Amino acid sequence: MDTPLITVIVPVYNIKDYLPRCVHSITAQTYRRLEIILVDDGSTDGTGKLCDRLAGEDGRIRVYHKENGGSSSARNLALSHASGEYVGFVDSDDYIEPDMYELLMQGIQEFQVSAAQVARDEIDEKGNPLPDICVPPTEPVVIEGRKFMEELLMHRGDCSFCTKLIRRDLFPEGAFPVGKLNEDFHLLVRMLPGLERIVSLPKQAYHVFYRIGSNSRKADRETFSRVYADCVENADMVEGIVKRDYPELEEIAFRFGIFQRLEYLLHIPISQMTKNNAFYRGIVSYLRRNWWRAMKSRILTEKNKAYHTLFAIAPRRLRRLHAIWLTRP
């Protein structure tokens, strides 16, 4: 097997308790031809110094320190310094199996594709496995770009860049949207028309450590992450991509937009469902304008349609009833 250089990018912020496990899982890879870029995104807890110490353990590690700007800005900085023909990402609280990058490179070369992905699992803070977000295939499968888009819009595909290895020249300049969550989906749907084919491998070689309070993960019911608004904006963006490149998927893209708006309305605190919240009012207005189209949809479920109808009529009242139902014994 040819051994192209792989750049592995790890954005780092105030994560000193978990970073060694993450980095050591990368340096232990059976695929040895790696460069590992750690980007310290303005850490204040000593993580930056830890990055430098870890770099001293392995000559393949490079460290960049920057002011805090978020995961996307850290990833973009690393991409601008990447030398590898292929690029992978690992989040600093996660870890990977020793053969992950070997499997990904084998998949790319065997199936002659420009990108490959492995399956992932999730583990909570007590070490308990969580339900699979995406069901892994039973054997390698090559997915055409159009089909991959469909799977993403039906919430069956994996949009994470951490499970993937992708040819570096396919990344656009300023790849990840700075200041946004749901950034992986945002970039992947923009890249899909150029990817053409992705091979999906069955092994769960990437381990997500579900740390409450990290990124978009909610610490309590009163926390309203901006990820829900970003997901709605991404749904509008992908609708334009679909119209241009995959017009046969327009109804699926519409379904995706409705679904993301319902998710927003199911999570926004009732106290923020006010007339002076323009984003909230825009979502309710969208549901009202598109009610009949949604009712005719063969893709939206009856439950989706019921929530759509009730949110279009009385969103605040529905949320109050929903909150009561969730707290029933």
pLDDT at residue 162, rounded to an integer? 97
Residue 327: pLDDT over 60:
no
Helices vs strands, H then E, count in the chain: 12, 10
* 3-state SS assignment for residue 95: strand
Conformation bin of residue 220: beta by default, left when phi > 0, alpha when psi is -120 to 50: beta
Stretch 284-300: mean pLDDT: 97
Residue 321: pLDDT over 90:
no
Report the mean per-residue pLDDT for the chain. 93
**What are the residue ranges of helices labelled H in 11-144?**
19-27, 47-57, 71-81, 100-111
Stretch 2-16: mean pLDDT: 96
Stretch 43-57: mean pLDDT: 97
H or E element at residue 140? none
User: pLDDT confidence of 294, banded at 50, 70, 90?
Assistant: very high
Q: Give pLDDT tens digits for 225-259.
A: 899 999 999 999 999 999 999 999 999 999 999 99
Cα distance between the two ends of the chain: 59
Residue 218: pLDDT over 90:
no
pLDDT at residue 217, rounded to an integer? 46
pLDDT at residue 135, rounded to an integer? 85
**Residue 142 contacts residue 90 (beta carbons within 8 Å):** no
Q: Give pLDDT tens digits for 90-127.
A: 999 999 999 999 999 999 999 999 999 999 998 887 77
**Hey, what's the torsion of the CAs at 239, 244, 250, 256, to 10 degrees?**
-20
pLDDT at residue 129, rounded to an integer? 77
pLDDT at residue 79, rounded to an integer? 98
pTM of the prediction?
A: 0.91
User: pLDDT confidence of 222, banded at 50, 70, 90?
Assistant: low
- Taking Cα atoms as reference points, which of 104, 247, 242, 76 lies closest to residue 163? 104
pLDDT at residue 179, rounded to an integer? 92
Stretch 25-45: mean pLDDT: 98
Stretch 300-317: mean pLDDT: 95
pLDDT at residue 274, rounded to an integer? 94
Residue 42: pLDDT over 90:
yes
d(CA 283, CA 209): 33
d(CA 208, CA 163): 10
Q: Give pLDDT tens digits for 120-172.
A: 998 887 777 788 778 889 999 999 999 999 999 999 999 999 999 999 999 99
Dihedrals phi, psi of 200, to nearest 5 degrees: -105, 125
Strand pairing partners for 206? 96, 120
Residue with the larger pLDDT of the pair 322 and 199: 199
DSSP letter at 137? P
Strand pairing partners for 144? 197
Residue with the larger pLDDT of the pair 80 and 325: 80
d(CA 136, CA 121): 9
pLDDT at residue 219, rounded to an integer? 47
- Taking Cα atoms as reference points, which of 200, 2, 7 lies closest to residue 116? 200
d(CA 231, CA 229): 5
